Amino acid sequence: MILLRRLLGDVLRRQRQRQGRTLREVSSSARVSLGYLSEVERGQKEASSELLSAICDALDVRMSQVMREVSDELSLAELAESAAASETVPAPMRPMFNPVSVTSVTGVPEERVTIKAPAEAVDVVAA
């Protein structure tokens, strides 16, 4: 499952690290506790829109830019998740026939196969 808060935290951390800034500097500028900012960056806490705005202002980055990066990463994560799901091996199908061993009149075992007809009506003509 893809967690939006983790993707958002990753983007915020990268923005901060690109600028060479510490958590302490950004938390002070955004007026949020260092511990809480750390939890947001690690995807452990959901950032409210007000908090996100304060963090973006402290990083001097537009919120739309942060959200665009999150959206791009979400798209990639969904594609990867979808590809992984399609690579799973499907469950084996139940066979459409049941082999049955019967004994003929001569006493020699014969193998017969019973074929299950599909759900739709099928006309069978005996020869």
DSSP 59-87: HT--HHHHHHHHHHHHHHHHHHHHHHHHT
pLDDT digits (tens, 9 = 90+) for 55-91: 999 999 999 999 999 999 999 999 988 888 877 655 5
Beta-carbon contacts of 23 under 8 Å, excluding residues fewer than 6 positions away, are 16, 34, 37, 38, 41
Question: Which is higher by pLDDT, 109 or 1?
Answer: 1
pLDDT digits (tens, 9 = 90+) for 28-63: 999 999 999 999 999 999 999 999 999 999 999 999
Please tell me the predicted confidence (pLDDT) of residue 8. Answer: 97
Which residue matches tokens 């599909």?
Answer: 118
Which residue matches tokens 């500028």?
Answer: 29
Please tell me the predicted confidence (pLDDT) of residue 122. Answer: 47
Please tell me the predicted confidence (pLDDT) of residue 125. Answer: 53
pTM over cut 0.85: no
Contact 17, 6 (CB under 8 A): no
